Amino acid sequence: MKLCVRIAPNDTGGYTAQCPSLPGCTVRGATKDEACDRLDEAIRGYIAAVNNFVPEHLDHEVVEI
């Protein structure tokens, strides 16, 4: 499964990551890596809740703003 994600610095000095194709799937992290890790977990949770399964492997393209 391939998803596009966006990671951008926020006003508080950390980063905000979101997956535009999954409404409401937005997280924050102190670093880009932390934001990416949290978003990966959020995406898995979103898909599990909607489709009642968790994909084994997620590929995502990172778009930095």
Task: Decide: 6 and 63 in contact? Cβ < 8 Å.
Answer: yes
Span 18-58, pLDDT tens digits = 999 888 999 999 999 999 999 999 988 888 887 766 556 66
Would you state the pLDDT for residue 61? 57
Span 1-23, pLDDT tens digits = 678 899 999 998 999 999 998 88
The token pair that represents 21 in the structure block = 């194709």
Task: Decide: 62 and 5 in contact? Cβ < 8 Å.
Answer: yes
Would you state the pLDDT for residue 64? 56
* CATH entry 3.30.160.250 includes domain 2-64: yes
- 3-class secondary structure, 45: helix
